[in-house]
């Protein structure tokens, strides 16, 4: 059985009741892939390329990953936090160096590394227009790393910005942990969370990743269910 291992942050992690209704992309991704492919979601809230390695999370993946498996690598949100030395990486130096560590782990075991750019936050400056966000240098650095190492790149950043622009500020709230009313005890009335996803957002962004896999063709396309491919 082939496996997809996911190394990432809170936008991908599998949640439980303590963080409900937060939902990660990796949590819903099984609905897109064939039944004989297992998703091993190692994504964890608040992690960067650096802290994920430092905490031994990549080492855990290395213990389990094997020939023909896939390593999906999706970071950026926490690498940019320059106020926290345990997580921060420079986009065009340490961030790229760390990404190559993940790539090397996959290749060493005969697995296939796939880089995925970070999804955009709801960084609206008015009802319809997005700001520049904080990911751009990390997206550019990831693209350079993919080209240098000849590995596939799925540009979730650009696709998510496109979806946000089409939806607008109000309509896009339903995709994120943004609440107008205090419906959940962990998210009081007026809580604005423009980063973490709810179920609808996780499914939307997972579908964009699936669409990119299909566009790449070959082995990446073969990960997806036939009925999913017919809908993309």
Residue 70 has which token pair?
């896939």
Query: What is the C-alpha separation between 199 and 23, in angstroms, rounded?
Result: 5
Give dist(CA 112, CA 132) in Å, integer: 32
Which of 10, 48, 51, 160 is the catalytic position? 10
User: Is there a catalytic annotation at residue 189?
Assistant: yes
Catalytic residue, chosen from 63, 67, 189, 227, is: 189
Distance CA 206, CA 224 (A): 12
User: For the chain, first and last CA: distance in Å?
Assistant: 25
Q: Which residues contact 148 (CB under 8 A, 6 or more apart)?
A: none
Alpha carbon separation from 155 to 59, 113, 125, 217 (Å, rounded): 26, 14, 23, 15
Catalytic position from the list 112, 160, 196, 207: 196
Cα–Cα distance between 20 and 198 in angstroms, integer? Answer: 8
**CB atoms inside a 10 Å sphere around CB 38:** 13
Measure the CA–CA gap between 27 and 33, rounded to whole angstroms. 12
Q: Which residues are catalytic?
A: 10, 189, 196
């Amino acid at each position: 059985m082939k496996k997809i291992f996911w190394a990432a942050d809170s936008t991908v992690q599998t949640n439980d009741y303590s963080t409900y209704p937060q939902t990660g992309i990796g949590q819903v991704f099984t609905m897109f892939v064939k039944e004989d492919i297992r998703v091993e979601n190692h994504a964890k809230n608040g992690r960067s390329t650096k802290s994920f390695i430092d905490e031994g999370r990549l080492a855990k993946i290395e213990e389990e990953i094997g020939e023909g498996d896939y390593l999906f690598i999706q970071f950026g949100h926490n690498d940019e936090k320059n106020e926290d030395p345990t997580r921060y990486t420079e986009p065009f130096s340490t961030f790229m160096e760390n990404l190559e560590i993940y790539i090397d782990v996959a290749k060493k075991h005969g697995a296939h590394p796939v880089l995925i750019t970070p999804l955009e936050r709801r960084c609206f400056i008015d009802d319809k227009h997005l700001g520049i966000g904080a990911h751009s240098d990390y997206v550019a650095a990831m693209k350079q790393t993919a080209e240098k190492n000849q590995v596939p790149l799925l540009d979730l950043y650009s696709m998510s910005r496109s979806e946000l622009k089409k939806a607008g500020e109000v309509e896009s709230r339903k995709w994120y942990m943004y609440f107008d009313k205090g419906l959940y005890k962990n998210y009081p009335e007026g809580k604005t969370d423009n980063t973490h996803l709810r179920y609808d957002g996780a499914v939307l962004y997972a579908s964009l990743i699936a669409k990119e896999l299909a566009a790449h063709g070959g082995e990446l396309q073969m990960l997806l269910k036939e009925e999913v491919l017919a809908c993309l």
